[in-house]
Amino acid sequence: MLTKRYTHILSFFLLVLLSVPGLSQGQTTARRQTTAPSQSPANEKRVTGDTITAEVSEALGIIESNYFSGKKIDYNIVIKSSIDGMLHALDPHSNYFDAKEFEQFRTDQRSQYFGIGATIGDLTDPNGKMIGTYIRATFEGAPAHKAGLMYGDKIISVNGESMLGKSYVEVRNSLRGPRGTLAKIVIERHATGKRETIDIIRDAVWQPSIQEAYMIRPGIGYIAMTGGFNQTTSEEFRRAMRDLKAKGMTQLVIDLKDNGGGLVREAYRVANTFLSRGQLIFTQKGRIEGVTEPYYADNPNPETMPLVVLINRNSASASEILAGALQDHDRALIVGETSFGKGLVQNPFLLDYGSMLLLTIAKYETPSGRAIQRDYSDGNLYNYYTGNNGPNGGQGSEQQKGPAALTDGGRVVYSGGGIKPDVEIKPDTIPIEQARILQKLNNPIFAFALDLAYGKVPGQEAYKVDRPIRFAYDLKPEDYPITESLFAAFRDFAVKNYKYTPAQIDKERKFIERTLRAELVTAAYGMTTSFQVFNEQNTQLQKAIDLLPQARKLAQDSQKNRAAAASAVKTNTSNER
C-alpha cells in the first residue's frame, strides 16, 4: 500500500514536469544511455514518464521486500530525497515540500504562525545546567499578551507536561499548536515566586515582515525590512511610511540585510513607492506562456525623499529586485555588502496528499538588463549557499562576472553574483573565541536583568518595570541608561554567582552595557523595540545614515535626468508634427 501511494506522488510530480510546454511524455529531455557514451543518438533509449514511474515502483517494491530494516523505512524521507535530488540537478531553488512543510510555507507567507505569541529564552547556571525557560516578551494583541504573561515568567509545564530541563525548541513546540486548541500553562512569577495556571487558546500570531520602523534621528526614518517579502509586506510598508512622515521624516534608510526574499509582487509594490509611472522595475523571462513580461511602475506621484538601502550577503531574490530597481534608476544609494545573487523565479505546483512542488519557471533581470543570478554550475549546494564557488573561495567571494550595464545616470553596474553596493561597508566582526565568551555572558546578564526588572537589586529600584509592555515606542537616549553604579552592581553579581573575575567583566563592558540595556528595554517596550539599542552601535547603519547627503544628490540628479529626458521626448514629438 505504501509503495502505491508514494509511486503515485512521484507519478504526479513527473506529470507536472512533463506538462511544461515542450516536455510531453513522448518528448521529455531526460535520456538514459544503455551502452557506451559514444553510441549514435539513434540508438539512445528515450525515457518517458511511464518508464520512470514503472522503474520507481519496481525499486520501491524491492526496497520494501528486501531492505534490512524492513518496515522501519521512512518512505516520506525516501521519496522526498528522491524528488529533491531530481530538482537540485536542475537548480538550487527548485524544491519539493511535503504536506507539513507546505503548510509551514503557506503560514510563513501569511506572516503568521499559530501559538500563544511570546518570545522565550533559556537560562543556565554557571555549570551549564538548565535553570529554566522564561517569557522574554509578548506580542501586542497576541493570546499571551491578553492572558497577562510577563517578562520573567518561568514556564513550569504545558498541558500537564513538565518543561523543566527541556530545550528551547521543545518548549517552543509545546507552546505552538493548531488554532483554537488549549495551552494550559503553569508559570512561576519572578516577582513573587508563586505559581499560577493560565489557560490560553492558541490563535494566529502575526509575524510582521517589517521588524521595526522608527525615527532613528530627527528627520530620518528607519524601516527594517528583515522578515522577508510576505503577503502583508507592502501594506506594512505603506503604514510605516505614513507613520514616519507624520513624525517628520524627510529622509529614509531601508534595511534589507538578511532579507531572503519572498513574494515578487510585494517587492514590486515597495519599489513602486519610489519610481515614476513608466519606469521599469524588473523583467521576467521564461518559456511558459504568459511568464515573460516587463513590470513597470504605475505611480504618478512617487516619493522623492533621499533614500539609502542597506544590503548584505543574505539579501536575496525579492530584496535584490527592489535594490536593483532603485540602483538602476539612481533612485537610492545602495550600501553594505554584495547581495546573495538569486535571480530565478519559482512557481508553486500543488500535488496530491497536500504536498507542493516549487519549480523554477523563469529568471528576472533588473531595469538595466542585469541578470544577477550567481553561478551554480558545479552542482554543489554547500558551495552555492556558502559562496565557496567564487573564484577565490570563501563566503561572499564570488565576483560579478557578467557584462556591464548603465544606470539611468550613466553609472556602470555589472551582471552576475548579486547586487554590488554603491558604497561598500563591511559589518563589525569579532574573533570566534571572543564570540564564545560573549555568548556565555548572556546568562548572567539575563539573570541579573530579571532581578533588576522586578526591583530586587538593592540601590537600583529605579529600574523596576512594574507596568505592561508599551508597544511601538521610539527609544530615547535617557531610557534605561547603564550608570556606573548599575554596572558595578552587575560586576558584583557576575563575580559572586557566575565566578567571573572583575577584570573579565570590565574587559567586555561595552557588550554588557548594550545587552543589559536591551534586556530592560525588552521588559518595558517589547522585543522589537530592543533592536533599537543594537542599532545605536551598528557600524553599517550609522555609516549609511552619514551617506544620506550623497543619496540626496543622487535623487536630485535622477530627477533632473528624468525631467530632461521627458523634455527631449516632448520636443521630438513636436518636431515630428
Mean pLDDT of the chain: 87
Nearest to 108 by CA among 229, 234, 225: 229
Q: Which residue has the higher pLDDT, 301 or 561?
A: 301
- Tell me: the pLDDT tens digits for 301-318? 999 999 999 999 999 999
Please check whether residue 288 is in contact with residue 20, taking contact to mean a CB–CB distance below 8 angstroms.
Answer: yes
Please check whether residue 374 is in contact with residue 349, taking contact to mean a CB–CB distance below 8 angstroms.
Answer: no
The confidence band for 256, taking pLDDT boundaries of 50, 70 and 90, is very high
Please check whether residue 517 is in contact with residue 527, taking contact to mean a CB–CB distance below 8 angstroms.
Answer: no
Specify the fold of 112-206: Pdz3 Domain (2.30.42)
Predicted confidence (pLDDT) at residue 220 exceeds the cutoff of 70: yes
Q: Compute the distance between CA of residue 157 and CA of residue 171 in angstroms, rounded to an integer.
A: 9
Q: Which residue has the higher pLDDT, 80 or 302?
A: 302
Please check whether residue 469 is in contact with residue 135, taking contact to mean a CB–CB distance below 8 angstroms.
Answer: no
Please check whether residue 528 is in contact with residue 475, taking contact to mean a CB–CB distance below 8 angstroms.
Answer: no
Predicted confidence (pLDDT) at residue 224 exceeds the cutoff of 60: yes
- How many helices (H) does the chain have, and how many strands (E)? 17, 23
484-496 core/surface letters (b: 16 or more CB in 10 A; e: else): eebbebbbebbee
Nearest to 74 by CA among 98, 55, 44, 91: 98
Strand duo 356-365 + 344-350: pairing = antiparallel
Please check whether residue 504 is in contact with residue 188, taking contact to mean a CB–CB distance below 8 angstroms.
Answer: no
Specify the fold of 212-344+362-424: 2-enoyl-CoA Hydratase; Chain A, domain 1 (3.90.226)
Predicted confidence (pLDDT) at residue 22 exceeds the cutoff of 60: no
Place of cell 512521484: 10
| Percent of residues in the chain assigned helix, strand, coil, to nearest 5 | 40, 20, 40
| pLDDT score recorded for residue 47 | 58
Helix, strand, or coil here: 275?
coil
- Tell me: the pLDDT tens digits for 350-408? 887 788 989 999 999 999 999 999 999 888 888 888 875 544 344 444 466 788 999 99
C-alpha cell at 89: 540537478
Q: Compute the distance between CA of residue 399 and CA of residue 338 in angstroms, rounded to an integer.
A: 9
Nearest to 400 by CA among 441, 343, 335: 343
Nearest to 310 by CA among 366, 253, 350: 253
- The residues that are catalytic are 317, 328, 342
Lowest mean pLDDT among 206-220, 227-241, 350-364, 517-531: 350-364
Nearest to 148 by CA among 117, 114, 124: 117
Of the CA atoms within 13 Å of residue 473, those in its CB half-sphere come to: 20
Lowest mean pLDDT among 108-112, 475-479, 480-484, 536-540: 108-112
Helix, strand, or coil here: 461?
helix
Q: Where are the domains of the chain?
A: 2-35+43-89, 112-206, 212-344+362-424, 432-537
Of the CA atoms within 13 Å of residue 345, those in its CB half-sphere come to: 20
| pLDDT score recorded for residue 5 | 54
Specify burial of residue 458 (Cβ count, 10 A radius: 0-12, 13-18, 19+).
Answer: exposed
C-alpha cell at 479: 531610557
| pLDDT score recorded for residue 428 | 85
According to DSSP, residue 474 is labeled: -
- Tell me: the pLDDT tens digits for 270-281? 999 999 999 999
Q: Which residue has the higher pLDDT, 570 or 118?
A: 118
Helix, strand, or coil here: 70?
helix
